Structures are given as structure tokens and as C-alpha cells.
Structure 1
Amino acid sequence: MKNILVINSGSSSLKFQLISMPSEEVLASGLVERIGLDTGKVHYKSGSFSTSEEMPVKDHSVALKEVTKHLMDPEKGVIKDPAEIAAIGHRVVHGGATFSDTIVIDEKVKGKIKELFSLAPLHNPPNLKGIEVAEEIFPQAKQVGVFDTAFHQSIPSRANRYAIPNELFDKEQIQVYGFHGTSHKYVSEKANELLGDDNTKLVTVHLGNGCSITAVENGKSVDHSLGFGPVNGLIMGTRSGDIDQSVIFYMIEHLGYTAKEVSDLLHHKSGMLGLTGYSDLRDIEEQAEMGNRQCQLALEMNAYRIKKYIGGYAAAMNGLDAVVFTAGIGENSDVIRRMVCKNMDYLGLKLDEQKNSVRSKENRKINKEGASVKIFVIPTNEELEIAKQTFDMLA
């Protein structure tokens, strides 16, 4: 038996699980959320014990040190010595054209991850920070990188190429890479288990602070909303999603923005934050309920963008067996699910309002009985998927 610590550093959160492999027993788990805010929260669970603390969490380094403190706590911890952890599996968002498989991390790998900062400025920096802090705290553990881009290697050329000069693809590898691949892979496999068939046409909808949507046909990713970098597609917490390129040119040529300033705006100041002043959907839903028109419109825009992608992917696959909602918002926001599925009868989506309103951590079906297209809520478990791939690297 080997203890695998899985670290999943998101743009504003850090999820972790300590998993005994190959039994897949979760020894401890938790979440540090709202990183960068004074209202950060640290959640920790081990067996029947659980705790939640509110505290300022300045950055991902502070978050990981808090996680380690809990794991090694004399009373509530589950390990006494860092040497009890055999390997640490790190979620890394962008592998570029270099990393298409899970890999043991060394200085060369870290250098390449750093080179890719410009392609995933919200994620690769905290991913690398998590690796560096883990190396410091657990020097004896093997550090393993699992890349979000790997699942999307199956996207065919007709979908992963941009209509720009070929030399930019041939020499610079500018193409669709895709992200959240570990999550989309996990939930699509679970959906196929629920459907009792691997030969399916699915649309998996990953909604968190970062959002993406994937067309999955017969277990393979065949199209995806995020592309060369993680800012395209759906409207996100602070990222714009799809935008007319002319807007960028206009901002630079006529409004005096630099390219760096535009990039910062599209990554950090747009999306739901730019529309409402809030980046957390829970705050936006609360404000919308109170009559805040900006928040109401932002929710409508968010759902409308998702609906368009579902329709487009159903057309691309010439069919649709199920839509899967996952990740923090997808799993917990009955509001977004309801708005997305409203008036989608033409595609066969018929939401059961009562089932949709139930909070649960279980895989569940929320469509009306007899609906031709199933609607699933499947909690993602990127950590288990990462643990499996990390454990394989110890062989």
C-alpha cells in the first residue's frame, strides 16, 4: 500500500486528498477556498472528524502549508512523518505540445511548466508553486505531474486547428489544447457507467471559477471550448470566454491599452467579476435574488453561452445521449442548471425541477422520466484520477 497525496491547485482554490493506493481509500481530504481573499476557508476531513476554519489565505503557498499542518496534527492528522507519503500527484493545467502524458517532475519539467505560464497565467503559476512547496515539505516523495491537456489529445484536426497560416501550427504548435481534461475524463466515464454503454455521445459541462464544456464521443474528447489558453469559451469567474478579436485590436489601437493590459483584463477582470463586481457565483445568485439587475443579466448570459455550446456539440456529434454537470458550480447551483436546461425541449432535455433542487454528493439523474436525453449531476473526482495515474508511476 502506498500513500498518494493529490494536490489540485485551481485559480482560487486548493483541493487535496490523501489516498491509500491501490485500495483507493481516502485517508483525509479537504479544500482551501477563496484563496487571495481575507475570507478564505480551510476545510479538512478525516474519518468522522471534520473542521472548517475561516482565515486569510494570501496565496497557494499558505494554503498548502495549512493542509500539511492538518495532515500532521497530533490529534486530527493521519500521518506522523512526511516520509509516509510515497508520491505527490500534481494537477498541472497546461502541458503545451511537450507533455501529453503523466510524468515524474524534475528541474527540466518545472522549467517547461514555467515557460508555459503565458498560456495559463491563472493556473500554471499556482501549479508550480504547489510543486515547489511540496518538494520542500516532502523531499523524499516522488513528484508527479498530471496534465489537463492530455484527455484532449484525441480531438481531431478539424476541431483542434485554427484557420491561420499553417506555419503557426507547424513551427509554433498553435492549436486547441483543451483543459480540465482530468475532470471531463472522470465524469464521462461515470456517465457511461450510469448509461450502461461506452458508445455514447455526451456533453460534459465543468463549471467552477474556470469553466469548460466538452463533446465526448465513445469515451474520447472530440471538441472542447477552451483552446490554446484557458480563457476561451464559456463565461467564467474572472475570464471573458469567447470575445470578438476586433475588440482586442480596438482596445490596443484606439483606447491605449498594451497587450499585457488586455491580457490581464481578459484573465483577471472580466467574466462574472467584470459584469457584476463579484467573482463567486454564490454571491451573484444571492444578489440576483435580491433584484440586482446586473447579476440577473450575468446569470442569463452565463446560461445562454452554455446552451449554445450544447447545441453546437449535439450537431457536431449528430446526436446527444446525456448532458453532465460537474465541478463546484455544476454540482451545487440548481439555478444555473435550471437556466441552462430551460427551453431545450428540441434537443430532448427535460429537467425535473424537484430532482434538480435536491443537494447531494452522489451521482444522480435529474431529468424527467422518459426524456430522450439524460441530465446527470456527477461530482468530479479529479483527485482519484490523478492518484491512479500517480500510483502507476511508482511501478
Structure 2
Amino acid sequence: AVAGRLRALTALAPLHQPAALDALDAVRAALPGVDQIACFDTAFHSRLPAAAVTYALPARWRERYGIRRYGFHGLSHAHASRRAARLTGARRIVTCHLGSGASLAAVLDGVGVDTTMGFTPLEGLVMGTRSGSVDPGALLWLQTEAGVSAAELTDGLFRSAGLLGLAGTADLRAVEAGAAGGDPACVLALDVYLHRLRAQIAAMTAALGGLDALVFTGGVGEGSATVRAGAAAGLGYLGVAVDPARNTGPADGTVDREIGVPGAVVRTLVVTAREDLEIARGVRSVLAGGAG
């Protein structure tokens, strides 16, 4: 029954839901007597305040169809924020999960208070092949005036937009290399990516009423010194300052590390994404009789 309900939601996350359901089916076939526990990327965001989850849409749509902001990447945000709090004692944390998919979370004392993804994983930041936030009026115009079908819109927004749409590649490493070489499309793509990232970090900070720690995680967040420096370069007014040597140099004996200028108002860290640890934590809680 649970699997059936999840399958019905595939349209909301077409890049991820089918693969997760295939894994569920494979495990059930191989180990039919073993309990299966689903750990949801939306769960961490379940305590977001009403102001953060509510769209200004007609009440009949919100109530009948459940249209609201759900958020994603919660497993990664939960681990990164918990790890940052342990390392620094920070209370007000913005976690930046940057990879092929990308989102931010504002976390206060371990509880999420805002995030950038919404009803689907399309909202928010520019991603590898996903658009991030787009004026819905532009999408309506594409349908009503340009004759673009719903199927074309879905494919374009999820699979052909983002960095791929801007630079012809979804690989940020290739975009950075192209930008360094002066390729105009890559320069624009990187500028758009960083512009949206800085703006949304500032928005998350506003939701927290200030910022104690900024955390980068995910493949891009961990691997791109250019993105980390570019994001921080526009956030000095918040107290963010990245040390160039610490940002580009190797971790000093640890996987998770600080890259901020010593004494900066905001602590800036790189934390390895470990959704697996968060999943294990949730599974242990469920097996022990907790809520997950």
C-alpha cells in the first residue's frame, strides 16, 4: 500500500522516485522477509512554519491538491547541520547542498525553518539540468502562446534546463573550465548560478534572523573552491569571509573542515555529505520504536 502511494507521487520527483521504487522492489524480491524502512528527504522539513510552506494560491487549490512547499535533500541538510553544530556550537546555520540537484536549508537549533525547494525539486537554485525558480507566467505563456505541451515543459524544466540549458553541459567542472577560458556561455552560466546562490543564502539568513555558520556539502559544495569563494564574495556584509588557502588546500587531517578566515563573524565549513549515516540513524530510531 505504501509503495503504491509513493508510485502515485512519481510526477513530483521524476528523476528520483522511479529509481527509489525500483530499489524497493529489488530488495523485496531478494529479501522478502526483511522489513523495509523508507527514509524521506522531505521529513527534515516537516516542521517548517506555515509562513515558509504556504504558497499564495487560492485556498481551494491548496486544500484539495495539497499544494505547499515540502522541501527536499532533508537527509543531507540534517547531517550537515548536526555536524556543523557539533564542530562549532552554532545555532543559526545555513546548509548548502550543492550537487547535480541543489538546495539550501535554514536550520535553527537543529530544526529547519526554511528551505529553497518547494512542491517539487524544481524550485530554488540553478541545478545541473533543473531550472530552479522560474516566473510561472513564463511557463503559462509557453503553453498558451508558444504551444509547448505539458510533457515538453516537464522534460525541459527537469532534464534540459539549469547549467545544461545555459552552457550546454550539466557538469559544473566543465562550466568552470569554460568560464576560465572565456567561453561566454560558461561565464554566463557560472554568473547566474552564483547570483542565485548568494541571493538564496541571504534569504535563508533572513529566516534565521542572523547567521552563525555557513556549510557547504554535496559534490559541488565539497569539490568546488570556485563556487565556495564566489558565494562568499557577495556575503561579506553578513560576516562571511573565506580564507583562500583553507578553501583551496586539502583538509588538514580531517574530512570535514573550516575554510573561513580565523575570527570571522560567521564560521564557514565544508562537510562531507553523508545521507547514509542519516538514513541509518532514522532506521535505528524506527526499529527502536521511535518516530524516525
TM-score range (shorter-chain normalised) is over 0.9
Q: Which residue of 2 aligns with 1:352?
A: 243
Q: Residue 37 of structure 2 aligns to a residue in which SS? A: strand
**Secondary structure of the equivalent of 1:146?**
coil
Structure 2 residue aligned with 1:113: 6
**Within-5 A mapping of 1:80-95:** none
How far apart, in 2, do the equivalents of 1:302 and 1:153 lie? 27
Identical aligned pairs, as a percentage?
40
In 2, are the aligned partners of 1:300 and 1:339 still within 8 Å (CA)? no
Q: 1:192 aligns with which of 85, 93, 112?
A: 85
Matches within 5 A, 1:281-292: 281-292=172-183
One-letter code of the match for 1:337? R
Aligned to 1:304: 195
Q: 1:338 aligns with which of 211, 217, 229?
A: 229
With normalisation by structure 2, the TM-score equals 0.94
Query: Which 4+ stretches in 1 moved above 4 angstroms?
Result: none
Corresponding position of 1:293: 184
> Corresponding residue for 1:240?
131
The alpha-carbon deviation at position 231 of structure 1 amounts to 0.5
Conservation of the 8 A alpha-carbon contact between 2:255 and 2:271: yes
The answer to which structure, 1 or 2, has the higher relative contact order (CA under 8 A, 6+ apart) is 2
After superposition, give the CA deviation of every residue in 1:230-261 in whole Å (9 maximum; x if it has no partner): 10100001000010111101111111101221
The residue type paired with residue 273 of structure 1 is L
Structure 1 residues 166-315: aligned runs within 5 Å: 166-197=59-90, 200-315=91-206
Q: Which runs of 5+ in 1 are unaligned?
A: 1-107
Contact 1:355–1:366 under 8 Å retained in 2: yes
How many residues are treated as equivalent by the alignment?
Answer: 286
Change (3 A) 1:359 1:256: farther
| Structure 2 equivalent of residue 376 of structure 1 | 269
Please tell me the residue identity of whatever aligns with 2:4: G
Q: Counterpart of 2:47?
A: 154
Counterparts of 2:74 and 2:207, CA distance in 1? 19
Q: Would you say the 8 A contact 2:129–2:158 is kept in 1? A: yes
Q: Distance in 1 between matches of 2:207 and 2:279?
A: 30
User: 1:170, CA displacement in angstroms?
Assistant: 2.2
Aligned-pair RMSD on alpha carbons? 1.4
Q: Tell me, in whole angstroms, the C-alpha distance in 2 between the residues paired with 1:124 and 1:204.
A: 24
Query: Hey, what's the Cα distance between the residues in 1 that align with 2:12 and 2:162?
Result: 18
Displacement of 1:124 in angstroms is 0.7
**Secondary structure at 2:268's aligned position in 1?**
strand
For residue 384 of structure 1, what is the amino acid of its counterpart?
L
Q: Deviations over 1:43-79 (max 9, x none)?
A: xxxxxxxxxxxxxxxxxxxxxxxxxxxxxxxxxxxxx
Q: Compare the two structures and name the one with the higher helix fraction.
A: 2
Shift of 1:290: 2.6
SS at match of 1:132: helix
CA contact (8 A) 1:252 1:258 kept: yes
Find the residue that maps to 1:296 and give its secondary structure: helix
TM-superposed CA distance for 1:341, in Å, is 0.7
2:18 counterpart of 1:125: yes
Distance 1:140 1:305, change over 3 A: same
State the alpha-carbon separation in 2 of the partners of residues 335 and 365 from structure 1: 16
Give the conservation status (yes or no) of the 8 Å contact 2:122–2:157: yes
The structure with more strand, counted as a fraction of residues: 1
In structure 2, the partner of 1:41 is none
Cross-structure match for 1:86: none
Secondary structure, aligned partner of 1:370? coil
SS in 2 for 1:203: strand
